[in-house]
Homo-oligomer: A and B are copies of this chain.
Amino acid sequence: MTVFLNGRFVPEAEATISVFDRSFLYGDGLFETVRISNGKLFRLEAHLQRLEQGARFLGIKLPFAPASIASSAQQLIIANSMREALLRITLSRGVGIRGYSPKGAGQPTLVMTLHPFGAPTSESARLELADSEIGAPPRWKAHIASIRLPAGDAIAQFKTCNKLAQVLARAEAESAGADEALLLNTDGYVVEAATGNLFWIQGDTVFTPPLADGILRGITRGVVIELCGQLGLAVTEAEVTPAALKQVDAAFLSLSSYGVVGLSAIDGVLMGRSVVVTKLAQAYNALLLTECDRVP
């Protein structure tokens, strides 16, 4: 495995950073996960734009221009011969003075790594693949985690390297026999999943929590809203309590890795199916294939 590290392509064993790096010390960094299909990066520009905006928010100078990152990412795919994979881009503030002050950290660290996609993982192993509908999306069991996200958090819109809440929520979900965790904010609303954004369907309307609640501005969330528009479906931003969510017609997640994933249960309460979720999953997969230059 070849890794991109600050402008160099190095073997995995040599892909190391200083123990004084601030993302190791404080999670003082950002990342993006980009789906690779047919050797092409899906919606890379949107991911790089969010990375740039996040870097501006954190006051970190992006060490390479977005076009240069894009071209290095393509080289990395070729170097590793991985045409169906996930790209992780990590930007750290780098090494600075001791303590929280970001002063003196003038040399940010940029790392890119590839990860196999579609290999059996803890989630995919449990997917309800024997589904009766053709082209139906995978369905996961969700668990509402006890940990709460700060309502209205402005940092949450970016994918920062502060993900302990998500790590612990996911671990709690797995202990409960679920595939993924749903997270509450401090106002008591279910606002997102550990790895993606939340949507639900009631009647003819698709709902999703507002960004102002303190959640990730998901690239795939944006794609799903775009597809709803194309399919003539209204999308409404709304807040939802755990009790209300368990009563909706159907619920699903949007993830940069798996696209559209249905929820088969929440805290053991079985969730309904909806043809809308299947349509969105199909539309998402078609868009992925089209944009990545592959004939469906």
Give A99-146 interface residues, CB cut-off 8 Å to B. 99-103, 111, 113, 115, 121-122, 146
A283 at the interface (CB under 8 A from B): no
Q: Give the chain B neighbours of A25 by CB distance below 8 A.
A: 23, 31, 88, 90, 161, 163
Contact (Cβ within 8 A) A150 B148: yes
Q: Give the chain B neighbours of A59 by CB distance below 8 A.
A: 171
**CA of A255 to CA of B242, assembled, Å:** 39
Given contacts A19-B3, A23-B27, A150-B148, contact A155 B168 (CB under 8 A): yes
Question: Which candidate, A10-18, A42-50, A61-69, A74-82, is the interface stretch facing chain B?
Answer: A10-18
**CA of A151 to CA of B86, assembled, Å:** 35
**CA of A100 to CA of B167, assembled, Å:** 5
A239 at the interface (CB under 8 A from B): no
> A28, A86, A169 — which one has the most chain B CB atoms within 10 A of its CB?
A28
Contact (Cβ within 8 A) A161 B18: no
* A238–chain B nearest beta-carbon distance, Å: 20
Contact (Cβ within 8 A) A122 B103: yes
Contact of A162 among B31, B121, B154, B162 (CB under 8 A): B162
Contact (Cβ within 8 A) B167 A28: yes
A165 at the interface (CB under 8 A from B): yes
A164 at the interface (CB under 8 A from B): yes
Contact (Cβ within 8 A) A5 B26: no
A294 at the interface (CB under 8 A from B): no
Give A143-196 interface residues, CB cut-off 8 Å to B. 146-155, 160-171, 174, 186-187, 194-195
Residue of B nearest to A27 (CB): B27
**CA of A118 to CA of B15, assembled, Å:** 35
Residue of B nearest to A103 (CB): B122
> A149, A161, A170 — which one has the most chain B CB atoms within 10 A of its CB?
A161
Q: Give the chain B neighbours of A17 by CB distance below 8 A.
A: 16-17, 19, 24
**CA of A99 to CA of B170, assembled, Å:** 10
Contact (Cβ within 8 A) B26 A151: no
Give A250-293 interface residues, CB cut-off 8 Å to B. none
**CA of A102 to CA of B195, assembled, Å:** 13
8 pairs, CB–CB < 8 Å, chain A vs chain B: A3-B19, A12-B20, A20-B113, A24-B90, A25-B88, A27-B162, A102-B167, A155-B165
List the interface of chain A (C-beta within 8 A of B). 3, 5, 12, 15-29, 31, 58-59, 86, 88, 90, 92, 97-103, 111, 113, 115, 121-122, 146-155, 160-171, 174, 186-187, 194-195
Q: Given A26-B27, A27-B161, A100-B170, list of 17 further CB < 8 A pairs?
A: A3-B19, A5-B19, A15-B20, A16-B19, A17-B17, A19-B111, A26-B163, A26-B164, A27-B162, A27-B163, A100-B163, A101-B122, A103-B122, A103-B174, A147-B155, A149-B150, A162-B165
